[in-house]
Amino acid sequence: MNYRLLEMIPGLLSWLTLILMFLLSWLTPIAAAIFIILFDIYWLFKTIYLSVHLRSSFSKMKSNLKTNWQEKLKNLKWENIYHLVILPMHSEPYGVIRETFESLKNNNYPKNRFILALATEERAGEESKQIAQKIKSEYENYFFKLIVTNHPKDLPDEIPGKGSNESWAAQEVKQSAIDPLKIPHENILVSVFDIDTQIFPDYFGCLTYNFLTCEHPQRSSFQPIPFFMNNIYQAPALARVVSFSATFWHLMQQSRPERLTTFSSHSMPFKALVEIGYWHRNIVSEDSRIFWQCYLHYNGDWRVVPLLYPISMDANVAPTFSKTLLNTYKQQRRWAYGAENIPYLLSGFSKKNIPLKAKLFWAFNQIEGMHSWATNSLIIFALGWLPILLGGESFNYTLLSHNLPMITHRIMLAASAGIVTSAILSVILLPKKPNWFKPYHYLGYFLQWILMPATLIIFGSIPALEAQTRLMLGGKFRLGFWVTPKGRY
C-alpha cells in the first residue's frame, strides 16, 4: 500500500469515529445511547484491569528499589560491561544539566565503566557550547570518558531533533573512543537519556543485571519507568496531574511487556545500534522508532525488557501558568506524533519474514492505542450527551433517554476508583518534601485528581487528534521536533 495512504490511517479512523458519534446520535439515537453505555462499561472494566497492573508494577518497583543490585552482580561476569550514556542537549541551563551529572556521579556502578557523550547542537549557539565545556571540566575526572560532541546544523536528509543529534554523537564516540580502544561492541550498553534525566543510585546495577540475565541480551531494549517529578513541587496542579498520569501509564505498561516499546530514556546494546544504522534522522519520535527499526531489522527478534526501576525527569514547568499549559500541550502533541510509526511498521511488515500473528498483534496494538488516545476521553466525558441533544423529541420521550445520564454517571462513578488509586499513589511517590511543604498540602495533591477528566481531554485527546490530523494532511502540516524547555523557576 502507498506509504502516504498508510500515514492517513490513524487520523482517518479517529475522525471517522467522532463524526459517526454525531451522525448516529442524530439518525439513530437509541443505537448511539446503547453504544455509549456499552463503551462506558468497557471503560470501567479496562480501568479495573489497568489498576491491577498499576498496583502489581508498583509493588515490584518498590522491591527493586530495595534490592542490592551490586550484590546480585557478584556472581555474574559484569566487569567487562561498559555503559555509553548519550545526553542530547539544546539550550538547557547549566543547573538542569548539572543535576543530571550529579546523579550519574553518585550512582553505585563503577564510574570507570562509563563513557558519557554530552551531545550539543551547533544551532543552539555559543552559550550552549560554553555550558557543555564547563560540565566537561567539572565531571570528566569522575568517569572513564566524557566526550562533548557538536551536531552540525542543516545536514541533508535530517530534521533538527534528538534522533539526528543522538546518531551523530554515537558515531563520533565510536570513532574517537570505542573503536580506538578496541572495546567489543557486544560489551557496551548504550543509554539515551533526556538531558533532565536523573537516575536513582542503583539504576545501572539493575540495568546490567537484567542485561546479563535476560534470555536475549543482544536482541533487547531495556525500559525504566519515567517519573516526571524532578520539579514536581514547582508545577501547577494541571501539570502535576498530566505528569503523574504519564508516569502511571508507563508504570502499568511494565506489567505488560508483550506490549512494550521504547520511550524517552532507555537502553539497548551498542552492537545492535551500529548494525541497524543508528537512529533515524528525519523523524520526531525517535525514541519509539528505534524499537521498530530493531524489530524489522531482526525480523521480529526484538523485545523490550521492563526494568521495573524508575528514573526521574522534569514535569512541565514554565515561568508563567499559561506558558506551562502551552508547553504541556506541545509535549503531549509531540508524543502523540508517534503515530508516524504506524505507516513505518505497516510498510515494513510487507517486506519482512515475520509471523503473521505477530504482525497482526502489533498492527492492532499500535492502531488501537493511537485511536484510543485521540477518541476515548472525548467519547466518555464530552460526547455522552449527544443522543439527548441531537436525538429529537421522539428519543427524548423514551425511557432510555431519561436513564442515559443516570446510567453513565453510575458507571463513571464506579470507574473513578481508578482515579482514587492514582491519587493515593501520587502522594506516596512524592519525592523529598521542600521546607515549605506542610501536612495540609497533601490534601491539595490528593484533590488535584478531580482535574483528571479535563486533562484527559485537553492534554490527551485533543493534542493526539491534532497530531494525527497533521500526519494525515502531510506537507506543511507535519510536525517538526519541538524541544521541551527545561528550567528551574
**pLDDT tens-digit profile of 366-417?**
999 999 999 999 998 888 889 998 988 888 888 888 888 888 888 888 878 8
8 Å CB contact between 185 and 273: no
DSSP per-residue letters across 42-92:
HHHHHHHHHHHHHHHHHHHHHHHHHS-HHHHHTTS--TT-EEEEEEE-SS-
Q: What mean pLDDT do residues 300-321 have?
A: 96
Whose cell is 524508575? That residue is 310
Tell me the one-letter amino acid at 478: R
Mean residue pLDDT of the chain comes to 94
How far is 395 from 387, CA to CA, in rounded Å? 8
Q: What letter would DSSP give residue 285?
A: -
Cα distance between residue 280 and residue 283, in whole Å: 7
In a 13 Å sphere around the CA of 468, the CA atoms on its Cβ side amount to 26
CATH code of the domain in which 403 resides: 3.90.550.10
269 is written with which cell numbers? 546494546
Q: 97 with 134: CB under 8 angstroms?
A: no
Among 198, 199, 202, residue whose Cα is nearest residue 68: 202
Distance CA 367, CA 342 (A): 7
- H or E, element range at 190: strand 188-192
Rg for the chain, CA atoms, rounded: 23
Sign of torsion, CA 267 366 303 479? negative
pLDDT at 397: 83
pLDDT in tens, 125-182: 999 999 999 999 999 999 999 999 999 999 998 998 899 999 999 999 999 999 999 9
Taking only the tens place, the pLDDT of each residue in 17-49 is: 999 999 999 999 999 999 999 999 999 999 999
Give per-residue pLDDT as tens, 430-484: 999 999 999 999 999 999 999 999 999 999 999 999 999 999 999 999 999 889 9
Q: For 182-218, how does the pLDDT look when each residue is reduced to its tens digit (9 = 90+)? A: 999 999 999 999 999 999 999 999 999 999 999 999 9
The DSSP H or E segment spanning 8 is helix 3-27
Distances (CA, A) of 400 to 6, 18, 388, 404, 407: 40, 22, 10, 6, 9
The DSSP output letter for 149 is: E
Grid coordinates given for 133: 565545556
- Torsion sign over Cα 103, 107, 111, 113: negative
% residues pLDDT > 90 (the chain): 86
What pLDDT is stored for residue 403 in this prediction? 82
What is the arithmetic mean of pLDDT over 291-316? Answer: 97
DSSP H stretches of helix in 232-355: 237-253, 270-276, 286-297, 321-336, 341-349
Query: Any residues with CB less than 8 A from the CB of 420 and at least 6 apart, and which?
Result: 449
Round to whole Å and give the CA distance between 193 and 199.
Answer: 10
Q: Which three cell numbers stand for residue 235?
A: 508545577
Residue linked to cell 515561568:
319
Q: What percent of the chain has pLDDT over 70?
A: 100
Residue 129 neighbours by CB distance under 10 Å: 15
What are the residues whose beta carbons fall under 8 Å from the beta carbon of 47, sequence distance 6 or more?
415, 417, 418
Domain that holds residue 469: 1-489
Cα–Cα distances in Å, from 112 out to 64, 81, 115, 117, 222?
A: 24, 11, 8, 14, 22
pLDDT at 1 over 70: no
Q: Is residue 352's pLDDT more than 90?
A: yes
Question: How many structural domains does the chain have?
Answer: 1
Q: What is the pLDDT of residues 101-110, one digit of tens each?
A: 999 999 999 9
Contact between 352 and 301 under an 8 Å Cβ cutoff? The reply is no
Give 261's Cβ-side CA count (13 Å radius): 21
pLDDT at 410: 86
* C-alpha span between 451 and 125 (Å, rounded): 40
Cell of 253: 505498561
C-beta separation of 88 from 190 below 8 A: no
